[in-house]
A and B are shown apart, each in its own frame.
Chain A
């Protein structure tokens, strides 16, 4: 895979500054060994380090007020190793998701990495890993915790560490490949991830259906979950008072054709009207369009139990107004691209039944949030782990 020089137009720094983070210095390592040297120096000189990828989910973590070194990880991009026969690859942390899939689609009979977070042109594998990012196709393929086989990184003392490996099954020691997912750079700098890859399915389609009423939509989604159909991803977006549902299907051509028919028939019994379109690119563009923001926007992510998805979506849309709001049905994940105080308060109200990832529009809002994490876990697990792994506070806070 050719090394891509990701042109991020300085977006990460701009975003950090808008979030009130004072940055002293930026480093852009081109090799893992360079990242290791920077971390070792930071530990020795008691400096703070903030790793940044494509900055598409930078507020997933706890941002410090000031940081000595921003590590722009987009210089660390490319494929370290692709094992076509064993269906895995080792990819450097700063590689954008779309670049990975561009490479994979041209290999052998064609492969793909089923990760479809928002802004996948810019989102890096390391950043998606650190923020536990995902998109609609997690319904079928899971997320990083289901696809990552191993991880390489640099600890807070500047030592190289590695966990997992290249095998799907691995219970040797603690599963730090999983534990570090969602740690947002607070415990370890991620330099490379070993991922499962999948053969490209023979056929793909997207069904595009609109429902006039939320009650019928809810019944439809329950019916869909209870059926034998196996959608790869389902999104629901309120549009002009109605609800637009997109559903992707992949697999054997006969199975996909049958799923299209059955999906549309099921939708019809609940007042849904629409059509199916065949083709992988059509499917991908439709799903991307469902979850990508239409402009620069701060987003919040709310997760609720599956059965509460439609009601939570409706409530958040009511608060969000024109801001794009989409439910990843089948996962109970709602993305709201617009995060003023009203929306955040409304999301907090839903948090008792799920989780809300906090957003920082500016520092002052932090104090209005309820705890992100159960206080017992914070006191007895997360803070002690942070203190042990990063006693000098090289990395950002864990919470």
Chain B
């Protein structure tokens, strides 16, 4: 791209101070929280949707690719600019536009952090259900792009179950609305298509979300096990009993040790696994449900268990879980996390495979996962300065995803495809499936400029 010409045009739209062009600044926006590295051509900070529409229209005319970016916490390269494209940065579009309690909706700008929204709603006795572990840093726009999940998905679903509408700038540069406060817009579920499309079908500039009344009561239990298998079996048995808790999360000893050193959540260092169980809802009958859960834990050989006495203790237990990814930096400076998902009953087999792969490639792997919905997060730990180790890590990651697909699962439960898992898409889709997705992309983004090279692999890349 003719940088100066483009830079001048973008500066006319957003102001000189809101465009970055120096290499040292561009470098900061050329990677995300994963391992993929790209190169940004320019970075432009936007403040409103009109600016976004003008920028996209201009870039469309010039034939320059672009990618929307919130906090850059994406783990698979979804927000990494390729081909020296323009990064459209949303961190300054971070306002709550409306909290509409009467209609149980909140309208936000995409750059706002998930946790900021939660905190604002909590003051009014409401909450927004999707709560990814990254919520302190991840943006609502990013959550939408990746269809973010979180520990409470088991009961409440993921982002696409709670986003009801969005103002969108299409790849053509047109600005429009999909959905809104009322339900069931006629025709195909465009909102369902947009959520999880990783910014490849348009850029969201406002989001309408469903909010819910905070539950009357929450009970959080930490159960300690001498094996991951026993913790996993407990999860299966709870579900088989007809109880669907709000959350069922497991961490293994590798992660427990890192978390304790970092967060001091009170997890025992000699535990092979901890299982975090949470019930929420009406208080009536909850003690009896927790009693049944406790009996199931004991049947599966739980070493000990405790229920959080108050909100403070609950927060500490959760700080441990939410701090897991960051904590493992104590062991190795980098990690590759594979978020393959398997049917819940296949979790033991999946974990056995992960262990074998860890031994095969001589890479340590810590496990933290959303056990209730079968979403694994094996953290493959390594030093990215070691080229040989990095190579082994990538091979291990690919084998883990293949194992998940072979067990009847899929290659991504919540982190998305980005560029990292393009080849692995062929593990779960046939050629005609990919063709249909590709046709939709081509229909909506005729010039192929809207975050190109992500999500949909080229057919000729099929192994």
Residues of A within 8 A of B (CB): 60, 83, 85-88, 109, 132, 134, 142-143, 145-146, 155, 159-163, 165-184, 186-188, 198-200, 202, 222, 225-230, 251-255, 257-259, 301, 303-307, 331-333, 353-355, 357-358, 372-374, 376-377, 380-382, 384-385, 387-389, 398-399
Contact = CB atoms under 8 A, between A and B. Distances in A.
Contacts of B178: 374, 377
B86 interface: no
Contacts of A376: 170, 174-176
Contacts of B186: 60, 182, 355, 357-358, 372-373
A168 B408 contact: no
B282 A230 contact: yes
Contact of A169 (B153, B172, B281, B446): B153
B278 to A, nearest CB: 16
Nearest to A391: B439
A252 B147 contact: no
Contacts of A388: 439-440, 442-443
Contacts of A255: 281-282, 284-285
B373 interface: yes
Given A173-B433, A380-B176, 9 more contacts: A85-B236, A146-B157, A167-B343, A187-B188, A251-B282, A252-B286, A255-B282, A332-B182, A381-B444
A178 B189 contact: yes
Q: Which of B188, B374, B410 has the most CB of A within 10 A?
A: B188
Nearest to A110: B242
B70 interface: no
A382 B170 CA distance: 12
25 contacts: A86-B345, A160-B432, A163-B433, A168-B153, A168-B374, A169-B373, A171-B412, A172-B412, A173-B425, A173-B428, A174-B437, A174-B455, A179-B190, A188-B436, A229-B282, A252-B284, A252-B288, A258-B282, A306-B102, A355-B182, A372-B186, A374-B178, A380-B170, A381-B444, A389-B443
Contact of A170 (B104, B288, B410, B443): B410
A86 B407 CA distance: 13
Nearest to B428: A172
Interface of B: 101-105, 146-147, 149, 153-154, 157-158, 160-161, 170, 172, 174-178, 181-193, 195-197, 201, 213, 215-216, 236, 239-240, 242-244, 281-282, 284-286, 288-289, 341-345, 370, 373-375, 408-417, 421, 425, 428-430, 432-434, 436-437, 439-444, 446, 455-456
A306 B104 contact: yes
Contact of A172 (B101, B201, B286, B417): B417
Contact of A167 (B187, B413, B421, B429): B413
Q: Which of A109, A175, A306, A358 has the most CB of B within 10 A?
A: A175
Nearest to B236: A85
B282 A171 contact: no
Given A385-B443, A388-B440, A171 B414 contact: yes
Given A145-B192, A161-B433, A253 B341 contact: no
B187 A178 contact: no
B174 A303 contact: no
A194 to B, nearest CB: 11
Given A168-B153, A222-B102, A384 B444 contact: yes
Given A258-B284, A381-B190, A374 B433 contact: no
B229 to A, nearest CB: 16
A88 B239 CA distance: 12
Given A159-B432, A174-B455, A178-B193, A306 B176 contact: no
B444 to A, nearest CB: 6
**5 smallest A-B Cβ distances: which pairs?**
A178-B192, A252-B285, A199-B242, A169-B413, A354-B182
Contacts of A259: 282
B406 to A, nearest CB: 13
A398 to B, nearest CB: 7
Given A167-B410, A171-B413, A200-B242, A374 B176 contact: yes
Given A171-B146, A176-B437, A384-B444, A306 B103 contact: yes
Given A161-B432, A169-B375, A307 B440 contact: no
A183 B187 contact: yes
Contact of B193 (A160, A175, A227, A398): A175
B80 to A, nearest CB: 17
A50 B320 CA distance: 54
Contact of B239 (A87, A169, A353, A382): A87
B160 A162 contact: no
A198 to B, nearest CB: 8
B213 A228 contact: yes
A229 B183 CA distance: 22
A88 B373 CA distance: 12
A20 to B, nearest CB: 20
A181 B183 CA distance: 13
Contacts of B410: 165, 167, 170, 172
Contacts of B413: 167, 169-171
Contacts of B285: 251-255
Nearest to A177: B192
B188 A181 contact: yes
A218 to B, nearest CB: 10
Q: Which of B147, B187, B213 has the most CB of A within 10 A?
A: B187
A254 B183 contact: no
A175 B195 contact: yes
A332 B183 contact: yes
A3 B216 CA distance: 44
Contact of B281 (A142, A165, A179, A230): A230
A254 B187 contact: no
Contacts of B281: 230, 251, 255
Contacts of A175: 147, 160, 192-193, 195-197
Q: Which of A134, A170, A254 has the most CB of B within 10 A?
A: A170
Given A173-B429, A384-B444, A389 B189 contact: no
B103 A301 contact: no
A176 B374 CA distance: 21
Contacts of A168: 153-154, 157, 373-374
Contacts of B425: 172-173
Nearest to A130: B188
Q: Which of A60, A145, A253 has the most CB of B within 10 A?
A: A145
Contacts of B443: 381, 384-385, 387-389
B412 A252 contact: no
A303 B288 contact: no
Contacts of B201: 174
Q: Which of B147, B183, B191, B411 has the most CB of A within 10 A?
A: B183
A159 B240 CA distance: 37
Nearest to B154: A168
Contacts of B175: 376
A219 to B, nearest CB: 11
Nearest to A168: B373
B183 A182 contact: no
A305 B412 contact: no
B181 to A, nearest CB: 4
Contacts of B343: 83, 85-86, 88, 166-167
Nearest to A202: B242
A291 B236 CA distance: 37
B298 to A, nearest CB: 21
B309 to A, nearest CB: 22
